[in-house]
Amino acid sequence: MLPIFYSDQFLDHDTGSYHPENPGRLTAIVQALNAAPWADRLDWRSPTEPRDRSPLDLICQYHNPAYVEAVAALAQQGGGHIDQDTVVSAQSYAVALLAVNAWVDGVNAVLQRQGPAFVLARPPGHHAMPDYGMGFCIFANAALAAYHALEQPGVNRVAIIDWDVHHGNGTQAMVAPDPRIVYGSLHQFPFYPGTGAATEQGYHGNVLNIPLAPGTTLREYQPQFEQRIIPFVRQFEPDLLIVSAGYDATQADHLAQLSLQPADFGILTQACLGLTPKVLFGLEGGYDYGAIAAAVMATLEPCLSR
């Protein structure tokens, strides 16, 4: 059984009718997974509620506590904007805390079962900087999950692979100073958020950025993934691999211009599982309902035998 961490509460993060990062993304994925021929092999798990395990100590260790308090206050006032793209509604702070707990729960599940898990949560996180949120992201879920993992017995090194079409500037900012974490990203460039040049290599040579041109297909993408990202991670010998699983690199996605197909993510997943069975996949971007649902299915299918 493959653990899937999900809650209907993730739908309560209300970004507005026309915002691309909206609850329909999760609804489309859940409907597709429930209709899959292997639906009975999915182990749907509810994330730990913040009242049962507050993630604030973890969050405030890596985010500025003043920023965290500002998000809470904005939600309490009924909502507003962190920036032009990043919306906070009345429920967003609570939902963002639940999302962090879901990623932490995912780490715990992977370490316990020595096999993969998937976190189906929102808001996404890889653009969230230490002092502010941006790019639809409030808290840096993947980076926080990595730091939680490093607190667990037997975990001394964590790798993060980011295949979202946008560079994970927040994740990089969070982990680049720490030699216990490596971060590898493939992303359209130059593109939002303006970071992710190949020259950005971290404080310890622990960052690998692979800029990609608009129109890139699997033919060009796969060699970069298998001949550069995978060896970079393998050489590090991580005790856990976290994948920032964004699906906006699909050709159907209207927010970017890479040209992967949903089925291609099954190939990328197989490569990740070839590194280690201990992989946590967590949802980042992806805004075409059909493409994101199909790509998540392609990601999960190779995990079912692990």
* CATH assignment, 2-305: 3.40.800.20
**What are the sequence ranges of the domains in the chain?**
2-305
Determine how many CB atoms are found less than 10 A away from the CB of residue 36: 16
CA 216 to chain centroid: 21
Whole-structure pTM value: 0.98
Is residue 127 part of the annotated active site? The answer reads yes
- Looking at the predicted structure, is the pLDDT value of residue 306 above 90? no
Q: What is the pLDDT of residues 71-94, one digit of tens each?
A: 999 999 999 999 999 999 999 999
Q: How many CB atoms lie within 10 A of CB 200?
A: 17
Pairing of strands 158-162, 181-188: parallel
| Digit-coded pLDDT (tens) for 244-288 | 999 999 999 999 999 999 999 999 999 999 999 999 999 999 999
Whether 305 shows a pLDDT value over 90: the answer reads no
Reported as type and span, the H/E element at residue 220 is: helix 218-224
Give the model confidence (pLDDT) of 220-238 as tens digits: 999 999 999 999 999 999 9
Q: Answer for the pair 74, 237: CB distance below 8 angstroms, yes or no.
A: no
Q: What is the mean pLDDT of residues 41-56?
A: 97
The length of the chain, given as a count of residues: 306
- Compute the average pLDDT of residues 171-190: 98
Instruction: Taking residues 142-167, report their average pLDDT.
Output: 98
Between CA 14 and CA 93 the distance in angstroms is 11
Residue 109 Cα distances to 96, 101, 222, angstroms? 20, 12, 29
Percentage of the chain surpassing pLDDT 70?
100
The residue from 63, 127, 148, 166 that is catalytic is: 127
Residues whose CB falls within 8 Å of the CB of residue 207, separated by 6 or more in sequence, listed in order: 172, 175, 176, 182, 183, 184, 200, 201
The type of residue at 78 is G
